[in-house]
């Protein structure tokens, strides 16, 4: 079932999607998880383009040494640009616009929202979730059990099977990707649930006899010899160093009234998205090093990797909330999608990968994020808070 999404003036488009486009249902019986109604459909909005001039100020002091709110609204007026240009070809008032020849049918063109790095996530997911691997290799790095898959088209994926190692939470990776896609962020590599066979894992390249014993002891194979896990798009051109650390200057870019350095506006919007996403997922591992990287060249997009630490216990709230409070400026389109993320949509989007308790915690954090943004809007005005786009 497919329903039309929302049409935007600006770049005008009609975008359609269904929940099955966002993820593939796993074959595992969701015993502790919430079973979503089959008829619910998640609407998908068209991304607005980044880029409007802006002004900024000090962030609320969530941590020692962090900037603090000044209580002053912006005075330059740069962020409050309301003038809209006419669309090319639009008819002037009182004049008829162009019409189609008699009898000709004008078709509405359905446009696909740009996904991860501007590509088509559905095409990536079709390979990740369904294509037959041409090659399996053991990933020798990291403390968890993981593999690299190569497909016939040359694309690759990281694969992490269900295992007894506690911090190997592949469900959190999938949930973070789906939330990121819903919000229009598109900086978490696409991933989905996928089954692997014992023979595929045992026969992978670089698997030693000792590692085979480890697989038997730690991987949670089902009775049929398969294991459920996660396949994630392999970003081959990630740069080796982390772009931003929690003790850098960038938090001031997200504060009311402060200036964003030239050439850093897109990064500032991405960092605002990151703080919101990490709060929603309760990711306590973002700033331990190496989890925020740039892809491609020195001006390439920021990519949010290693999201497996998310959706833990509520004890992580005190660690993640102060970071979220750094953000006083957001992308308008992100805020709009956050407001549209209802309970039924959450159940449908994440009910097969999160437990009931995890979903309840996410709802609470969503509501708290909305309240925080509403407080900022009341204090500084909508144009200064929905600052990007």
| pLDDT range class, residue 389, cuts 50, 70, 90 | confident
The reported pLDDT for the residue numbered 13 is 31
The larger pLDDT score, comparing residue 331 to residue 76, is at 331
DSSP 307-369: -TT-S--GGGHHHHHHHHTT---EEHHHHHHHHH--HHHHHHHHTTTSBHHHHHHHHHHHHHH
Name the pairing type of β-strands 226-233 and 191-197: antiparallel
Is the torsion defined by CA of 158, 164, 168, 173 positive or negative?
Answer: positive
**What span, in angstroms and rounded, lies between the C-alpha atoms of 39 and 1?**
8
The reported pLDDT for the residue numbered 238 is 96
The larger pLDDT score, comparing residue 1 to residue 351, is at 351
The CA–CA distances, whole Å, from 165 to 110, 143, 214 equal: 44, 9, 11
Average pLDDT rounded to a whole number, residues 226-239: 97
How many of the other CB atoms lie within 10 Å of CB of 214? 14
DSSP H or E run through 372: helix 356-380
Average pLDDT rounded to a whole number, residues 270-297: 96
Q: Which residues contact 118 (CB under 8 A, 6 or more apart)?
A: none
- Residue 85's SS3 state is coil
User: Domain residue spans in the chain?
Assistant: 3-61+118-388
Q: Over 60: is that where the pLDDT of 7 sits?
A: no
How far is C-alpha 270 from the chain's CA centre?
11
The reported pLDDT for the residue numbered 168 is 77
The larger pLDDT score, comparing residue 265 to residue 98, is at 265
Name the pairing type of β-strands 386-388 and 330-331: parallel
In which region does residue 265 sit, left (phi positive, over 0), alpha (psi from -120 to 50) or beta (all else)? Answer: alpha
| pLDDT range class, residue 386, cuts 50, 70, 90 | very high
The larger pLDDT score, comparing residue 241 to residue 48, is at 241
The reported pLDDT for the residue numbered 110 is 58
What pTM was computed for the model?
0.75
How far is C-alpha 107 from the chain's CA centre?
32
Q: Which residues pair with 205 in a beta bridge?
A: 137
Number of separate helices (H) and strands (E) present in the chain: 11, 12
**What span, in angstroms and rounded, lies between the C-alpha atoms of 123 and 192?**
12
The reported pLDDT for the residue numbered 167 is 73
CA angle (162, 201, 27) in 5-degree steps: 45
The larger pLDDT score, comparing residue 389 to residue 365, is at 365
Q: Over 60: is that where the pLDDT of 235 sits?
A: yes
Return the minimum-mean-pLDDT range out of 5-9, 203-207, 245-249: 5-9
């Amino acid at each position: 079932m497919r329903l039309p999404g929302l049409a935007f003036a600006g770049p005008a488009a009609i975008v359609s999607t269904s929940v099955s486009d966002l993820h593939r249902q796993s074959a595992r019986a969701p015993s502790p998880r919430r079973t979503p109604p089959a008829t619910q459909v998640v609407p998908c909005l068209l991304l607005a383009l980044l880029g409007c001039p802006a002004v900024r100020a000090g962030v609320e002091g969530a941590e020692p040494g962090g900037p603090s709110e000044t209580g002053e609204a912006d005075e330059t007026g740069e962020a409050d640009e309301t003038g809209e240009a006419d669309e090319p070809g639009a008819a002037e008032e009182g004049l008829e616009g162009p019409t189609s020849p008699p009898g000709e049918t004008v078709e509405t063109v359905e446009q696909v929202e740009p996904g991860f790095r501007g590509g088509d996530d559905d095409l990536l997911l079709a390979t990740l979730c369904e294509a037959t691997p041409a090659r399996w290799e053991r990933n020798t790095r990291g403390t968890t059990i993981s593999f690299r898959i190569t497909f016939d088209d040359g694309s690759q994926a990281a694969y992490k099977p269900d295992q007894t190692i506690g911090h190997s939470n592949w469900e959190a990776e999938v949930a973070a990707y789906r939330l990121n896609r819903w919000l229009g962020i598109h900086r978490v590599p696409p991933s989905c649930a996928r089954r692997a066979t014992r023979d595929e894992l045992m026969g992978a390249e670089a698997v030693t006899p000792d590692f085979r014993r480890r697989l038997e002891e730690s991987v949670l194979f089902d009775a049929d010899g398969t294991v459920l896990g996660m396949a994630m798009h392999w970003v081959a051109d990630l740069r080796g160093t982390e772009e931003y650390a929690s003790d850098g200057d960038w938090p001031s870019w997200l504060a009311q009234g402060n200036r964003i350095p030239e050439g850093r506006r897109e990064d500032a919007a991405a960092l605002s998205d990151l703080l919101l996403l990490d709060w929603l997922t309760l990711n306590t591992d973002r700033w331990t090093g190496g989890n925020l990287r740039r892809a491609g060249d020195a001006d390439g997009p920021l990519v949010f990797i290693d999201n497996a630490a998310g959706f833990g216990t509520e004890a992580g709230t005190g660690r993640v909330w102060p970071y979220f409070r750094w953000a006083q400026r957001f992308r308008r389109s992100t805020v709009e999608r956050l407001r549209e993320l209802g309970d039924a949509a959450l159940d449908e989007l994440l009910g097969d990968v999160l437990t009931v308790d995890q979903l309840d915690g996410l709802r609470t954090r969503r509501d708290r994020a909305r309240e925080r943004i509403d407080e900022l809007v009341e204090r500084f005005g909508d144009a200064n808070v929905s600052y990007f786009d």
